[in-house]
Amino acid sequence: MPLLDVRDLSVVFNRRGTKPVTAVDGVSFTVEPGQTVGLVGESGCGKSVTSLAIMGLLPRRGNKVTGEVRFDDTDLLKLRPQDLRDWRGRDIGMIFQDPLSSLNPVLPLGIQVAEVLERHQGRTRQAALREARGLLDAVGIPDPQRRLKDYPHQLSGGMRQRALIAIALACKPRLLIADEPTTALDVTIQAQILTLLKELVDDSGTALVMITHDLGVVAGLCDTVNVLYAGKVVERAYRHHLFAEPRHPYTDGLLQSVPRLDVDRGRRLHQIRGSVSDNIPWPEGCAFAPRCDRVIDDCIGSVVPLEPTFRGGALRCANPVPLEVPA
Amino acid sequence: MTSGGISALSDHKRRRIDELISRTSETGGVSLLRDAGRRLVRNPTAVVGAVIILLFLVIAIFAPLVAPHDPVQRFPELTQNLTVDSIPGATAGHPLGSDPLGRDFASRMIFGARQTLFVGVLATLIGLLIGVLLGAIAGAVGGWLDVLIMRLTDVMLALPSLLLAITLVALASRSTQWTVIIAVAVVNVPIFARLLRGSMLAQRESDHVLAARALGVKRHTIVLRHMLPNSLTAVIVQATLTFAVAILDAAALSFLGLGDPDINRAEWGLMLGVDGVRYFEVRPELAYFPALAIILVALGFTLLGESIREALDPKNRR
C-alpha cells in the first residue's frame, strides 16, 4: 500500500470578481514508503499549490480543493483542521523555497527547532533543546551548541536551509515534502543541500516528494518523476526512462532545453515556443497543443486522457514522441 | 607537492577557520535590538532627547529632595501686601518667587514634573495595552470581529483627538487625574490598534508563519510567538512618540480646566491655565515656565521616539 496516494486532486481558485482558475486539475500520484518522487514543471504549472493542498495549507476562503489525499489510508482532506494539525510536522514534514524568510526572525534558532519537538513529542523545553543540538549536528551545522542561541539573520542561507531540514525532520516524519528547497541557494550550496537531503532521507527511510523545476535535481534524486503542465500530470515515468526516452513532447522539449557539454557544441539551444501563462485557463484538449511541434487533430477539441504505459508510467499525449526502435 | 602536504595544509586551514568561527561567535551575535541600541547611542538627536527625559525623570523621582519647599505650603509673608499688581518675584529662598497664593513657584514646577510624567506615561501604557489587545484580536482572528474593531477605530479616528478627550472627560461626573489619564489613553487606543492589526495581517501571510503552520504549531502559539513579536516594532515606535502627545493632551485638558480640580495639585497645564493666563501681564514667568517645561518634555520624547524609529528601521541596518 502506498504511503501517500493522491487521487484526482483539483484546486480551483475562486475569488470574488474574477473568473475561477483551475490551478491543479485532477492530479493523481502515489508515493511508496521510502521512495523519492519528483514533481517537475515550469512556473505556474501547479507544483506548489499541489503541495500546499496536500498539507491543507491553502486558505479555505477562495480555494476549492477536491479529490482525495490518502496518507496511510486516512484522507487528509476530510480531517478537521485541528486534527490535521497533529499530522503536520509529526507525520509529514515540509521544507520551503526560501530559507531566508521561513525562519522566525525574532526567535533564536534553538527555540524554533525545539518548538516542533515540544508540540508533537511532549518534550520539555530543556529536553527539546538538548535534542535540537543533536539535530543541528546531524544536518552538518558546525558548533551546534552555540548556534542554538543564534538568530536566523546570523546564519548563512545554506545553514538556514540546513536548519529548516533539521526542523522538518525533527519528529522523524514518514513523508517529507520539499518545495524547491534549493532555488534560493548558490549552486555549490545546492549540491551540498541535495546530498544532505538524500543521505538523511535514505538513512531514515523517509519518503520524499521533491518539487522542482530543475531537471538536474530530478536526475540526481528521484525514483519516479511526474511532469506537470498547466495543472495536469502529462507524463509519469521512472527516472531513467524519462531521461533516456521522454515520450511527451513537453518533457522532450524540457530535456532538450538543458545545455549539455557533450553534444551539439556551437548549436543554438532548443527552446519551447510561447509560455505557459498564455494558455491558462485551458478549455479543452491538450493545454500544450499551442506550443507543441507534434500537434495533430486529436490534440484539439477532445480531452486527452492519461494512459498507463507498458513501462509502468503514464502518458497524456495523442501523438507521443516515438520510441527509438533498435535497428 | 605530495598529498601529505596538501592534507597538512588543509588541516592548518581548517584550524584557522575554526579559530575564526569561535572568535566571531564570542564577539556575539547581534540581535536586532542590540544593533538598534548601538545605533541609538551614536545618534546625537537620540542622546539629546534621552538627556532631556532623564533630567525630568530625575527631577520627578527626587522631587521632595530637589524642591526647596513643600509645593502646597503657603508663605504668608510673601503675600502680605498682595495686590493684583504685586505678585512676589524672586526673593531669597524662593528662586522663582511664588504664585498668587504664596506658594513657592520653583517647588511647584518641580513637583509638576512628577505629575506630568505620571499622567503621560500611564496614559500611553494603558492606551498601548488596550490598543495592542484589540489590534492583535482583529489581526489574528479576522472576520466580523476584525470589521467591528476596525470600524470602531474609524469612528474614533474621525474625531479630533483633543475633542474626543474633552468629551470623555465631560462624561465623568467628577473629574480626577484618572479621568484625564483614561481619556488620553482611550484617544490613543485606535492608533495602536490599527497599527498592530496592519502588521499582524502582513505577518499572517509571511513565509515563516506558513512554515510554522506546516509544522502543525497550534494557532495560539503562532499568534503569540510568531506573529505578535514580529509585529510589535511599529507599535513600540508609536508608543515613544505617543508619550509626547499624551503629555500635551493631558496638559491641554488641565489648561482648559477639565483636569483634577484640586488647587493644591501642582500640574503644569493647570498652572499655565489658571495663574499663567490670569497674571500674564504682571508676571509672565507664571506662564513661561510651565509652558517651557511642557514643550521641553514633549520635545525630549519626540526626539527620542523619532530616533528609535530610525534605529529600528531595517532599511538603516548595516
User: What digits encode the pLDDT tens for the residues A79-130?
Assistant: 988 899 999 999 999 998 888 889 998 889 999 999 999 999 988 999 999 9
Domains of chain A by residue range: 242-327
Q: Which of B29, B207, B218 sits opposite A85 (nearest CB)?
A: B218
Q: What local confidence, expressed as pLDDT, does residue A190 receive?
A: 87
Pairing of strands A224-229, A36-40: parallel
- The residue written with cell numbers 522532450 in the block is A252
Q: Is A104 within 8 Å of B31 when comparing Cβ atoms?
A: no
For A5, the 3-state DSSP assignment is strand
Contact yes or no for B57/B304 (Cβ under 8 A): no
Smallest CA–CA distance, residue A2 to chain B, in Å, is: 22
Closest residue in B to A164 (Cα) is B211
- Chain A residue numbers with beta carbons less than 8 Å from the beta carbon of B30 are 154
Determine the average pLDDT of the residues in A233-250. Answer: 91
Q: Considering the domain boundaries, does residue B102 fall inside one?
A: no
Bigger pLDDT: B88 or B265?
Answer: B265
Give the confidence band of B55 by pLDDT, cuts at 50, 70, 90. very high
How far, in Å, CA of A282 to CA of A278, rounded? 9
Contact yes or no for A178/A95 (Cβ under 8 A): yes
Q: What local confidence, expressed as pLDDT, does residue B257 receive?
A: 83
Report the CATH number at residue B184: 1.10.3720.10
Q: What local confidence, expressed as pLDDT, does residue A302 receive?
A: 79
Q: What is the dihedral of CA A83, A84, A85, A86, to 10 degrees?
A: 70
Determine the average pLDDT of the residues in B26-55. Answer: 77
> What is the number of structural domains in chain B?
1
- Chain B residue numbers with beta carbons less than 8 Å from the beta carbon of A116 are 215-217
Q: Is A103 within 8 Å of B208 when comparing Cβ atoms?
A: yes
Q: Considering the domain boundaries, does residue B238 fall inside one?
A: yes
Q: Is A89 within 8 Å of B21 when comparing Cβ atoms?
A: no
Domain interval for residue B216: 31-68+117-316
Smallest CA–CA distance, residue A150 to chain B, in Å, is: 6
Whether B29 shows a pLDDT value over 50: the answer reads: no
Q: What is the mean pLDDT of chain B?
A: 83
Q: Is A104 within 8 Å of B22 when comparing Cβ atoms?
A: no
Q: Which residues of A touch B (CB under 8 A)?
A: 55, 57, 85-90, 93-94, 96, 98, 101-107, 115-116, 119-120, 142-143, 146, 149-151, 153-154, 164, 167-168
Q: Considering the domain boundaries, does residue B111 fall inside one?
A: no
**pLDDT, tens digit, 9 for 90 and up, residues A16-30:** 777 888 888 889 999
The percent of residues above 90 in pLDDT, for chain B, comes to 29
Contact yes or no for B46/B311 (Cβ under 8 A): yes
For A31, the 3-state DSSP assignment is strand
How far, in Å, CA of B238 to CA of B241, rounded? 5
Smallest CA–CA distance, residue A55 to chain B, in Å, is: 7
Q: Is A116 within 8 Å of B215 when comparing Cβ atoms?
A: yes
Residues 164-223 of B with CB under 8 A from A: 206-208, 210-218, 221
Give the confidence band of B54 by pLDDT, cuts at 50, 70, 90. very high
Determine the average pLDDT of the residues in B200-207. Answer: 90
